[in-house]
Amino acid sequence: MAGTVTDPTAAGPTDATAPEWWRTAVIYQIYPRSFSDANGDGIGDLAGITRRLPALADLGIDAIWLSPFYPSPQRDAGYDVADYCGVDPLFGTLDDFDRMLSEAHARGIRVIVDLVPNHTSSAHPWFEAALAAGPGSVERARYIFRDGRGENGELPPNNWQSVFDGPAWTRVTEEDGQPGQWYLHLFDSSQPDLDWENPWVREQFQGILRFWLDRGVDGFRVDVAHGMIKAPGLPDYTPPAEAGSMGGGTATLEPGMSGEPEDAPPYWGQEGVHEIFREWRRVLDEYPGERILAAEAWVEPLAKVAKWVRPDEMHQSFNFPYLETPWQAKPLRQVIDESLAAFSSVGAPSTWVLSNHDVVRHGSRLAVTADNLQGHGLGPRSKGLPDPEVGLRRARAASALMLALPGSSYIYQGEELGLPEVIHLPDEARQDPTWFRSNGERYGRDGSRVPIPWEADAPSYGFGPGSASWLPQPEEWATFARDAEDGEPDSTLELYKLALRLRREHGLGAGTLHWLDGFGDDVLAFQNGDVTVVANTGEASVALPEGEVLLSSAPGTHRTLPGDTTVWLARR
Ligand code: NOJ
Ligand code: CA
């Protein structure tokens, strides 16, 4: 992995030997505020990331994706951007960014940044100008301002609800002190939606892409890439009652959506989004190296997700249907088949993901015993709280399964340590807008965002130099600290390291999957190249075929495979 690239416009030292690196890459998501805090203010920062790059190189990942670090009032943890071309002082400076980028590249680690185009912060100068300029102005036309319904415009323009709960419209007070127009915000009221039908908006974002591409980034994860275009006339829409609200409600896997444009909710998955990505792709293709676009597109079915990754659009799209699948052999096999078929039909790699900063960590989620809608989170009053041991065992098995699949995998900081969701956060510590907008009815996403532990015996477990941590860390986290797991053969960290090394050595990311039958209903078994993978999602043990055990998610697996365990075997 060692490399010598110093040119920030080069994509990394592995370029020559790994064309289309993104087809097989393992991409590690850094949530900057919770990763590593260099200056001790309790919030992770860019200098903290730079300091920890050796640990990431040692883990064996190919790229990092950073959640937003741009200037922001932090009403939605940075997904409310007030300046797309800067760094919030909380996280450091542009120099800190450049240093982090060149040190990552020097280690062969590519860097993907988060682009948040659906909405700005209400503190963005564009929105401030829109408020000041008044109805009918060019400044307002950059956002989605409408007059209200009702006799005096006192009712919102339509019935849309915010993903974070409550109405998706807020009424402004005009210059004359009177209640005036309403603006659309699919998320928090501090996140007004831009009007992507407006060419001015499109032009600004071309400049923003170039700003980061010129600095040398390897790509963009595109936030809410399914929501940027709204149906003409903004018609009323009531989602089906059972619809989950994804990703802290970013959400939209709405059961019953056929994938046809006319069935899509008027704010998700509109056809018009694709033209935007084609424009962006042309910009990226002008740059040397392989710069990528990865879509956060919460749509279904997978055949529709595949539209985001047609050859002239994005490179990757997150596979949320896979993330949503329970730990059961039959639906897992089905979603894996559907994923491979859908993505390969457009020549794209499948991606895989189990955790991120919007969902309950899979170290807990896979053992929850009651329904738990995405975005609701887990807290002390939730039903079906998970048994931590079952959660960890399943998470290790699920990760070992995911990392053996052909395509590209995303891992979320801390899952390589086996971290569970933090369920018992005190109410007064919670910060997710979902918690406030639902009046505490939905816990939201804070439980997956607690700063991660590095050193068992240090204050804040080595997250920062002192004890400060923006969300409190649980007392029992010393056992999950990186230094406690490093070099311990049975630890989750060593399991991930081994999986990433073997995956590379055996070319699993570029491989082909062939199912093997005859292991019973609870088991998934397949061949990928010269590796046989067997995952037992049930309780009863099953006999294993011949072959040396290369990796097991449960230590001590030999001839029989216990429940909730995955093994990789060398084919004989
Ligand atoms: C998706 C992001 O992952 C989530 O954290 C954020 O709240 C919404 N988009 C709104 O930007
Ligand atoms: Ca800090």
Residue by residue, DSSP assigns 115-168 as: E--SB--TTSHHHHHHHHH-TT-TTGGGB-EE--BSTTS-B-SS--B-TTSSBS
Of 71, 64, 24, 62, nearest to 48 by C-alpha is 64
Closest ligand by atom to 37 CA: 2
pLDDT of 374 reads 87
Residue 497 pLDDT level (bands cut at 50, 70, 90)? very high
Instruction: Give residue for tokens 């204050």.
Output: 459
Closest ligand by atom to 117 CA: 1
* Ligand 2 centroid from CA 185, angstroms: 30
* Ligand 2 centroid from CA 67, angstroms: 15
Does ligand 1 have an atom closer than 6 angstroms to the CB of 116? yes
pTM summary value: 0.95
Does ligand 1 have an atom closer than 6 angstroms to the CB of 358? yes
Asked if the model's pLDDT at residue 261 lies above 70, the reply is no
Q: Helix axis angle, 492-505 relative to 46-59, nearest 10°?
A: 60
* Ligand 1 centroid from CA 223, angstroms: 6
Instruction: For residue 313, give the 3-state DSSP assignment.
Output: coil
pLDDT of 557 reads 87
CB burial of residue 456 (10 Å; 0-12, 13-18, 19+): middle
Asked if the model's pLDDT at residue 12 lies above 80, the reply is no
Asked if the model's pLDDT at residue 74 lies above 80, the reply is yes
Residue nearest to atom 11 of ligand 1 (CA): 79
Pocket perturbation via mutation, ligand 1, pick of 185, 298, 318, 358 by most ligand atoms within 8 A of CB: 358
Segment 459-482 shows an average pLDDT of: 98
The distance of Cα 168 from the centroid of its chain, to the nearest Å, equals 23
Asked if the model's pLDDT at residue 190 lies above 60, the reply is yes
Does ligand 1 have an atom closer than 6 angstroms to the CB of 224? yes
Query: In sequence order, what are the residues at sequence separation of 6 or more whose Cβ sits closer than 8 angstroms to the Cβ of residue 232?
Result: none
Residue nearest to atom 10 of ligand 1 (CA): 79
Segment 414-433 shows an average pLDDT of: 98
Residue 107 pLDDT level (bands cut at 50, 70, 90)? very high
Residue nearest to atom 8 of ligand 1 (CA): 250
Is residue 527 within a helix (H) or strand (E), and if so which, with residue range? strand 523-528
pLDDT of 142 reads 98
In the chain, what's the furthest Cα-to-Cα distance? 80
One-letter identity of residue 405: L
Asked if the model's pLDDT at residue 253 lies above 60, the reply is no
Averaged pLDDT of the chain = 93
The distance of Cα 269 from the centroid of its chain, to the nearest Å, equals 18
Closest ligand by atom to 121 CA: 1
Does ligand 1 have an atom closer than 6 angstroms to the CB of 250? yes
Q: How far apart are CA 47 and CA 278, in angstroms?
A: 34
Does ligand 1 have an atom closer than 6 angstroms to the CB of 187? yes
Residue nearest to atom 5 of ligand 1 (CA): 358
Asked if the model's pLDDT at residue 17 lies above 50, the reply is no
Return the higher-pLDDT residue of 218 and 16.
218
pLDDT of 260 reads 56
Instruction: For 51-61, write each residue's pLDDT tens digit.
Output: 999 999 999 99
Asked if the model's pLDDT at residue 8 lies above 80, the reply is no
Segment 176-193 shows an average pLDDT of: 98
Asked if the model's pLDDT at residue 429 lies above 90, the reply is yes
Instruction: For 538-570, write each residue's pLDDT tens digit.
Output: 999 999 999 999 999 999 988 999 999 999 999
Check if the beta carbon of residue 528 is closer than 8 Å to that of residue 508. Answer: yes
- Of 16-25, 202-211, 289-298, 368-377, which range is least confident? 16-25
* Ligand 2 centroid from CA 75, angstroms: 17
Residue 329 sits at φ, ψ, to 5 deg, of -60, -45
Q: How far apart are CA 448 and CA 271, in angstroms?
A: 33
